[in-house]
Amino acid sequence: MGEKGEAACEKVGRCAEHGKKLVYFCRLEKLKVCSKCAITGSHRGHTVVPVEEALSELKEEAEMLQQQVQEDFAILRSFLDSEEKVLMEWIATEKQHILEELERLKAECLERAKHLSLLMDPFKAVLQSTNLSDVLKVLNISSDGSSHPCETANDPVVRFEAEKFCGPLQYKVWKRMLQIIQTVPEAYTFDHLTAHPHLEISTNRRSVIPRREALPVDYANGRFDTCLCVLGTEAISTGKHYWEVTVNKKAKWDLGVAYSSVPRHGDIFYRPSRGIWCLTLRDGYCYEACDEHDIQLEVQHSPGRIGIYVDYEGGVVLFFDAETMLMLHAFRTHFTDQLLPLYSPCTMEEAVPGDQRLTIFKLNV
pLDDT digits (tens, 9 = 90+) for 214-247: 999 987 789 999 999 999 999 999 999 999 999 9
Name 235's Cβ contacts closer than 8 Å, sequence gap at least 6. 260, 338, 339, 340
Higher pLDDT, 63 or 260: 260
What pairs with residue 243 in β-bridges?
A: 308
End-to-end CA distance of the chain: 59
If asked whether residues 163 and 200 sit together in one domain, one would say no
Q: In one letter, which amino acid is 219?
A: Y
Higher pLDDT, 56 or 133: 56
pLDDT in tens, 274-284: 999 999 999 99
pLDDT over 70 at 151, yes or no = no
If asked whether residues 159 and 205 sit together in one domain, one would say no
pLDDT at 287: 97
Measured CA to CA, the distance from residue 249 to residue 299 in angstroms comes to 14
pLDDT over 80 at 160, yes or no = no
Q: Can you list the positions of beta strands (E) in 212-293?
A: 230-231, 240-246, 253-259, 276-282, 286-289
pLDDT over 90 at 11, yes or no = no
Nearest to 243 by CA among 343, 107, 175: 343
pLDDT over 70 at 297, yes or no = yes
If asked whether residues 278 and 196 sit together in one domain, one would say yes
If asked whether residues 222 and 269 sit together in one domain, one would say yes
Higher pLDDT, 102 or 205: 205
pLDDT over 70 at 127, yes or no = no
Calculate what percentage of the chain has a pLDDT beyond 90: 43
Measured CA to CA, the distance from residue 365 to residue 348 in angstroms comes to 33
Q: Please tell me whether the overall predicted TM-score, pTM, comes out greater than 0.75 for this model.
A: no
Q: What is the rounded average pLDDT of the residues 126-135?
A: 64
Is residue 339 domain-resident?
A: yes
pLDDT over 50 at 9, yes or no = no
Nearest to 276 by CA among 209, 241, 324, 227: 227
pLDDT at 131: 66
Q: Out of 90-94, 121-125, 142-146, 309-313, which region has the weakest mean confidence (pLDDT)?
A: 142-146
If asked whether residues 144 and 272 sit together in one domain, one would say no
pLDDT at 134: 64
Q: 108: helix, coil or strand?
A: helix
Measured CA to CA, the distance from residue 273 to residue 271 in angstroms comes to 5
Mean per-residue pLDDT over the chain, rounded: 84
pLDDT band at 7 (very low <50, low <70, confident <90, very high): very low
pLDDT at 352: 64
DSSP class of residue 176? H
CATH number at residue 224: 2.60.120.920
pLDDT over 50 at 10, yes or no = no
pLDDT at 105: 86
Measured CA to CA, the distance from residue 310 to residue 313 in angstroms comes to 9
Give me the domain span that covers residue 87. 80-177
pLDDT over 80 at 6, yes or no = no
Number of domains in the chain: 2
If asked whether residues 221 and 261 sit together in one domain, one would say yes
Structural element, H or E, at residue 125: helix 51-127
Higher pLDDT, 152 or 80: 80
Q: Are 208 and 343 in contact (CB under 8 A)?
A: yes
Higher pLDDT, 163 or 185: 185
Domain finish residue from 127, 144, 177: 177
